[in-house]
């Protein structure tokens, strides 16, 4: 997947500014694809150059004109082509998991501190996903079925990670207990 496809997905139903797209990345597609404001604006420029999106200027008082982007027929064709193609397996890059894999070179207290930080982030993300899903459930889940299904995946991922974190904590605490009960030689 590329950023271009994520942007085209967001533009498939309505026009949006770069700022709107960045906000949507934070609230929906960001569950599965991260992008900075700068990356979004750069990609919008490329998509415009390739005639996959067009924009219109909206004058604003005291601010630069806003650009509202919309998908073109060429963009829809590209999105359709991409949607029909099998997805590549996701690449995983998780620095914390590498730290866990190398945990024998660290002390349990250091790992637990970082685990706690990661757990806080995951709980916050889970709360956000659950709130968004509840809002869709209450209002228009059928209309936004695919957004809802994406949120459900995010919810399940976070719940699973949190269960795994509990296992890690228990294992590390047991490791610490065993280390402290081993008599030291004189």
CATH number of 3-84: 1.10.10.10
- Domain ranges for the chain, please list them: 3-84, 95-181
The Cα-based distances of 145 to 21, 71, 141, 150 in angstroms read 20, 21, 5, 9
Residue 17 burial (CB count, 10 A): 15
Cβ-contact 82, 40 below 8 angstroms: no
Residue 183 burial (CB count, 10 A): 5
CA distance 181 to 173: 12
Cβ-contact 10, 96 below 8 angstroms: no
Cβ-contact 127, 184 below 8 angstroms: no
Question: Which pLDDT score is estimated for 89?
Answer: 86
Question: Which pLDDT score is estimated for 186?
Answer: 57
Residue segments in the chain with a per-residue pLDDT below the cut of 50:
none
pTM of the predicted model as reported, rounded to 2 decimal places: 0.74
Question: Which pLDDT score is estimated for 185?
Answer: 64
Question: Which pLDDT score is estimated for 147?
Answer: 80
Beta bridge partners of 176: none
Question: Which pLDDT score is estimated for 102?
Answer: 93
Question: Which pLDDT score is estimated for 29?
Answer: 73
């Amino acid at each position: 997947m590329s950023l271009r496809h994520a942007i085209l997905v967001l533009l498939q139903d309505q026009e949006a500014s770069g700022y709107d797209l960045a906000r949507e990345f934070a609230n929906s597609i960001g569950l599965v694809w991260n992008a900075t404001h700068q990356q979004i604006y750069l990609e919008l420029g490329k998509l415009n150059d390739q005639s996959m999106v067009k924009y219109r200027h909206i004058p604003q008082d005291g601010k630069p004109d806003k650009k509202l982007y919309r998908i073109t027929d060429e963009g829809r064709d590209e999105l359709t082509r991409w949607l029909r193609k099998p997805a590549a397996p996701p690449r995983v890059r998780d620095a914390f998991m590498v730290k866990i894999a190398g945990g024998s070179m660290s002390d349990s207290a250091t790992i637990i501190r970082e685990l706690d930080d990661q757990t806080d982030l995951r709980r916050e993300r889970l709360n956000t996903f659950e709130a968004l899903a509840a809002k869709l459930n209450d209002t228009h889940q059928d209309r936004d079925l695919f957004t809802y299904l994406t949120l459900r995946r995010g919810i399940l991922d976070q719940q699973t990670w949190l269960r795994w974190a509990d296992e890690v904590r228990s294992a590390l605490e047991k490791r610490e207990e065993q280390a402290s009960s081993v008599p030291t030689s004189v």
